[in-house]
Amino acid sequence: MQQGSSSMLSEDQSTNVPWLLSIMRRHPLWCYFLIAYIITWSIGFTYILLLHHAALPLWFAVLLCLGPTGSSFIMTAAIDGRAGIGKLLRRYIRWRVGAFWYLLVFVGIPLLLVLVPMLMAGSISALLSGLPLYPITYIGVFFLGGPFLEEPGWRGFALPRLQQRLGPLRGSLLLGVLWGFWHLPLFFIPGYNGAGSGFVGISTAMLTFIVATSALSIVFAWVSNRTGGSLFLVMLLHASINSSGSLAPAFANTLVNQIMTYIILFVFTLIIIIATRGRLSYDRYLRETEPSLPDSPALDRLI
């Protein structure tokens, strides 16, 4: 570890690389998450705690989501320059994947998260209330929420590197924890994903949310790996998850639905893990994509 770090440091010094850029190149994951958290948390906690705003306007949600993607472009530019930025942008339009994956993200996920729990609860009639506006909701969520503004960071920059360091299962699980914890400022808004007031009300909802994002992160990693790292497909997946509740708004926030949704999500995640033997189709991803991640010092294996 010391020899690899020393050789990289010597190389940076010999080419007169600024010290900050040298650190970013030697510790890309540490720096990526640090920048993403600083951008989002500085905006979020300033707005919610210092300015005492309890609502969530659209412009605020957009600003919060700039953290992951903004950090991904900063770090990609620092590590790989213009060529890396171009490669990242091309993953936005990697749409040539099998029809199965479009059916999964457009139809399968909403069915799993909404229709199945409603059938189990005998509340199928509630589906009609949200169906007419669902396409509009989906498009709005896609461009102005987490899908378009977060995924270039989580699955575009962090996931490939975490899978390389820790393996697909541990890497995606760690990403799920960090992805979920990144939402912390929002849990100071009463009602956000079940958040209450005080330490217990906030921490309980936060921990439950992190459990869910950890499971979802495995699903995202599997879809990403099977589609050659397509950001477009994981954006669509993210949008389907975030907008599925609008199909039956009267039912989505009930305790019965939340419990059933978690059960279905965990079962689906477990099926993926078993079917892929914990590899989440990572070997397929490696075969279909060019090796693009340079060797990193052992310190990055910690995150």
Alpha helix stretches (DSSP H) within the chain = 2-14, 19-26, 28-45, 58-64, 66-92, 99-103, 109-110, 116-121, 134-144, 146-153, 159-166, 168-181, 198-226, 231-243, 249-252, 255-275, 282-288
pLDDT of 250 over the 90 cut: no
Q: How much is the average pLDDT of 106-133?
A: 72
85-107 per-position pLDDT tens digit = 999 999 999 999 999 999 999 99
Q: How much is the average pLDDT of 165-189?
A: 96
Backbone angles phi, psi at 82, to 5 degrees: -65, -35
* 8 — pLDDT class (breaks 50, 70, 90): very low
Angstrom distance (rounded) from CA 164 to CA 125: 46
* Pick from 78, 119, 80, 108: nearest CA to 248: 119
Angstrom distance (rounded) from CA 210 to CA 239: 18
Q: What average pLDDT does the chain have? A: 84
